[in-house]
Amino acid sequence: MILWMLIYLTLAVIYDWRDFRIPNWLNAAGAVITVIICALQGMEWSVMAVGVLIPFMCCIGLFYLRALGGGDIKVLMVCGIPLGAAVIRFLILSFLWNGVIAVCVLWKHRSFRLRFSYLRHYLSGCLRDGQITSYENPDDESKYLHFTYGIFLAYLTQIVGGLL
């Protein structure tokens, strides 16, 4: 299972880096193959379902705010299939790794103040209008965060930590 997930996540990272998009066929194939492997290993369907539903429920709001892409959520859901309820730890690790990556990107581009200025204007607009709107990235695509990097690092962290 670990080897399969590493192959799947590597492909997701490559597509995300190259195209800023993770193809649906990759996520569908990843889900089908992962379910088959889990079923052959005797994992219960309810455990697999929990591993899919938790990332969906935790991340769907971020999708509607445009803070997280649909492909990223699907990757998290595929990764959750073999993890079951332990996907919560995986989600936390993914977000932590992506936070570290975001700080590195901001540091590299020397844009801490600029990004916090954007965030302040966004939050003040939401408060002024009384509604939450999607957060538009005013920068060019070269400064986008590829969330799959943190997902991949979270999976590696779980392997190294003996949590899989």
Tokens standing for residue 111: 């844009």
Q: Tell me the mean pLDDT in the region 44-60.
A: 97
Contact at 8 Å (CB) between 92 and 55?
no
pLDDT given for residue 134 in this prediction = 76
Q: Which residues contact 62 (CB under 8 A, 6 or more apart)?
A: 68, 73
pLDDT given for residue 140 in this prediction = 55
Task: Return the SS3 of 41.
Answer: coil
Candidates 29, 63, 78; CA nearest to 135 is 63
pLDDT in tens, 97-119: 999 998 888 888 787 777 778 87
Q: Tell me the mean pLDDT in the region 33-58.
A: 97
Phi, psi of 48 (to 5 degrees): -65, -40
Contact at 8 Å (CB) between 23 and 89?
no
> What is the C-alpha to C-alpha distance for residues 102 and 63, in angstroms, rounded to an integer?
18
Out of 2-11, 64-73, 117-126, the most confident range is 2-11
Q: How high does pLDDT run on average in the chain?
A: 91
Model pTM score: 0.86
pLDDT in tens, 53-95: 999 999 999 998 888 999 999 999 999 999 999 999 999 999 9
pLDDT classification of 32: cutoffs 50, 70, 90: very high
Q: Is 44 buried (19+), middle (13-18) or exposed (0-12) by CB count in 10 A?
A: exposed
Candidates 35, 39, 48; CA nearest to 5 is 35
